Structure 1
Amino acid sequence: MEKILDVKNLHVSFDTFAGEVRAIRGVDFSVNKGETLAIVGESGSGKSVTTKTIMRLLPDKIGKIKEGEILFDGKDLSKLSEKEMQKIRGKDISMIFQDPMTSLNPTMKIGAQIAEGLIKHQNLSKGAAKEKVIDLLNLVGIPNPEIRYNQYPHQFSGGMRQRVVIAIALACNPKVLIADEPTTALDVTIQAQILELMKDIQKKIETSIIFITHDLGVVANVADRVAVMYGGMICEIGTVDEIFYNPQHPYTWGLISSMPNLETEGELYAIPGTPPNLLYPPKGDAFAPRNEYALEIDFEKQPPMFKVSDTHYAATWLLHPDAPKVEPPLVIRERKKRYEASRGVSSTERRK
């Protein structure tokens, strides 16, 4: 498949009063044309920092790209000036932020806010921009767009405001759409509608989506591939089926084990401990102190990415040929068994 975005060995640091926080430590991933890549992990794992770095929205003089490349359309975005980025941001790469109320200007009418990007990036007249805005409002499912065009954000519900934010992001038909937890502030019913809307729009305009979330239930419904982040690094990446039904990293085991389902009884599983303080990055595997399956080498040396399949890689020493055989938790084994049974895989094939 054709790569549209390629992030290579990305390192990002923040200069704080306490010292240098190494928020992103060697992140590698690519996004193919027309696919959805979900980036998942706990709060503080580096998901939002990674995508804000792609958009070059790091705070001035504090956030710095220390190393790496962000390749898009033959250009390294990490090397572009702010003026050059302004021609790409909102036009070729757009972003949907988490809270629609803080993403919209409360003093501007909705129509004017959506039209702003069209006038700037596509040089449309006000009349032509208005026609396109009304089409966009229809596309994102807002009724009576001609009336809504002249209304303010406070006249919209939370779900409708998020639809407006999506319309702004889609206005210039971006090649890459970054969605940073776009449904977190919404109730479950509206959340499902927004996710369905994004899938429908992706089919219509063939954009690529990077979907940031901590909710694995959301990931199952929207993603083609999944990257799991922890401690400022990607610890596992694969197709959505590989991550959900054949995860290899103990951190991914923990995330999936903590997902409730209809068979869940008693207390939910919670990963013990807390994420690392990246002011003092760990020497070995960042997850080692919380990992009940950790080996001695986990505390000494960061594991490389081991290949599980052509599309599946995981950074855990448990995949080393000399590592002891470790069974994943029962809930992971049961999920895999049910998945293989649904695909008609025999017990003999499973043992292989």
Structure 2
Amino acid sequence: MAERILDVKNLEINFHTYAGDVKAIRDVSFHLDKGETLAIVGESGSGKSVTTKSLMGLLANNAEVVGGSIMYHDQDILKKSEKEMQNIRGKDIAMIFQDPMTSLDPTMKIGQQIAEPLMKHKKLDKKKAWAQALDILKLVGIVNPEKRINEYPHQFSGGMRQRIVIAIALVCYPEVLIADEPTTALDVTIQAQILDLMKELQSKIETSIIFITHDLGVVAGMADRVAVMYAGKIVEYGTVDEIFYNPQHPYTWGLLNSMPTLSSTLLEAIPGTPPDLLDPPKGDAFAARSAYAMKIDIEKEPPFFKVSDTHYAATWLLHPDAPKVTPPTEIVRRQKLFAEMSTNKSVKA
């Protein structure tokens, strides 16, 4: 059985605003095992970044954790002081942020920025820290690293800056790496290179990754498991094949339907907008945007229904008494593929 590194249970986070409390994260639970990649997907504003910033103790001043726990091994991160978190941040749990230019100090040489975590966490002297910084620059594919280690962030392209940010995050060989939309600002070619690099480095240093994205296409080649977030809640989770080929929640259907594929040129946007989390709906938060909503969706929040040992979805459509509905054509195509894949697996077994 895989070693469990992180276990988030019933996490609830509110943001205090002049208009009232925004219930940004509502009863979120998930776990991360050693060496695996968990992708958290959803539209902007669904709560992905807030959830992962709470793992780092980097929430905004107006944010308050009002419930739940974040167990890193056997310690609750939420009970740690800022000083204790400073010892964990960068060493045990590291983060790659969305925009490399805002993550790097424009006044410092990149060698200094990579060496700094080694001097703080590993207590290395400057010479040894710079030597290791040079090694990791080579590892992340910076050409001519001996010269470039003395250059400043503005002297690098966007793709190279993102490699440097990855180098800073990985230089202490953290146990958990959080990647918050690390390829959003990059063009498609560079994006593919960065994703390949992250997978390659993961196998070399045996880190576990939480990968945040709104782009399901990126997830397919990266993740082992996927958690789908909507309006501050996880609405479906399962293995990457289960979410891609046998999705059960109408929101997951909508996300997949709005993704370009070779078999379909028609992209369908999800109608409407997410609910106001100052006053969250009492039923299924996605009901107002769903063509499959029933009366119970408006009145009562659905529990998680079990699809398989690894696959759960919070939708009343999975209740035994729910009417049978036909998902969008693209989803039906995927589910047929999933059935064929499952049949082939059982035949081989």
Please give the range of the TM-score, normalised by the shorter of the 2 chains: over 0.9
CA–CA separation in structure 2 for the residues paired with 1:316 and 1:59: 32
Q: What is residue 19 of structure 2 aligned with on the other side?
A: 18
The code of the aligned residue for 1:311 comes to T
Residue identity opposite 2:197 in structure 1: L
Secondary structure of the corresponding residue to residue 226 of structure 1: strand
* Alignment correspondent of 1:30: 31
| 3-state SS, counterpart of residue 159 of structure 2 | helix
1:71-150 equivalences under 5 Å are 71-150=71-150
Deviations 1:4-41 (CA, angstroms, capped at 9, x unpaired) = 00000000000011110000000000001000000000
* Match status 1:333 vs 2:329: no
- Name the counterpart of 2:58: 57
Moved over 6 A (4+): none
Instruction: Give the AA of the match of 1:293.
Output: Y
SS at match of 1:238: strand
Residue of structure 2 equivalent to 1:316: 315
The alpha-carbon deviation at position 42 of structure 1 amounts to 0.3
Q: Distance in 2 between matches of 1:230 and 1:168?
A: 31
Structure 1 residue 145 displacement after superposition: 1.1
- Does residue 241 (structure 1) correspond to residue 219 (structure 2)? The answer is no
Question: What letter corresponds to residue 58 of structure 2 in structure 1?
Answer: L
Q: Could you report, residue by residue, the CA deviation over 1:211-255 in whole angstroms, capped at 9, with x for unpaired residues?
A: 000000000010000000001000000000000000000000111
Deviation per CA, 1:137-178, whole angstroms, max 9, x where unpaired? Answer: 011000111111100000100000000000000011100000
**1:273 corresponds to:** 272
Calculate the TM-score normalised by the size of structure 2.
0.97
- Summarize the alignment of residues 86-235 of structure 1 with structure 2, pairs less than 5 Å apart: 86-235=86-235
Any idea what SS the aligned residue of 1:308 has?
Answer: strand
Report the CA distance between 1:73 and its aligned residue. Answer: 2.2
Equivalents in 1 of 2:240, 2:165: separation in Å?
Answer: 27
- State the alpha-carbon separation in 2 of the partners of residues 332 and 141 from structure 1: 39
TM-score (norm 1): 0.96
SS of the residue corresponding to residue 23 of structure 2 reads strand
SS at match of 1:302: coil
Identity across matched positions, percent: 70
Give the C-alpha shift of residue 325 in structure 1: 1.4
Cα drift, residue 339 of structure 1 = 4.2
Return the letter of the residue paired with 2:89: R
- What's the counterpart of residue 307 of structure 1? 306
Using the alignment, how far apart are the partners of 2:339 and 2:155 within structure 1?
49
Per-residue CA distance 1:98-134 (angstroms, 9 max, x = gap): 0000100000000000011000000001011011001
After TM superposition, give the deviation of residue 342 of structure 1 in Å. 5.4
3-state SS in 1 of match to 2:195:
helix
Greater shift in the superposed pair: 289-298 or 320-329: 320-329
CA distance in 2, matches of 1:296, 1:122: 58
Q: Per the alignment, in what secondary structure is the counterpart of residue 220 of structure 2? A: helix
Give CA deviations for 1:285-328 in whole Å, capped at 9, x if unaligned. Answer: 10010011111111111111111111000000111111111222
Q: CA RMSD in A?
A: 1.3
Shift of the alpha carbon at 1:189? 0.3
Report the secondary structure of 1:51's partner residue: helix
Tell me how far apart the structure 2 counterparts of residues 31 and 345 of structure 1 sit (CA, whole Å).
29
Give ranges in structure 1 of 5+ residues lacking alignment: none
SS at match of 1:222: coil
Give the drift of 1:280.
1.0
Q: How far is 1:284 from its partner?
A: 0.7
**2:98–2:184 CA contact under 8 A, matched in 1:** yes
Letter in 1 for 2:302: P
CA distance in 2: counterparts of 1:314 and 1:112, whole angstroms? 46
CA contact (8 A) 2:4 2:73 kept: no
Matched pairs, number: 345
Q: 1:345 deviation in Å? A: 4.7
Secondary structure of residue in 1 paired with 2:255: helix
C-alpha distance in structure 2 between counterparts of 1:313 and 1:103, whole Å: 36
Aligned to 2:254: 254
> Match for 2:272: what amino acid?
G
Distance in 1 (alpha carbons) for counterparts of 2:175 and 2:214: 24
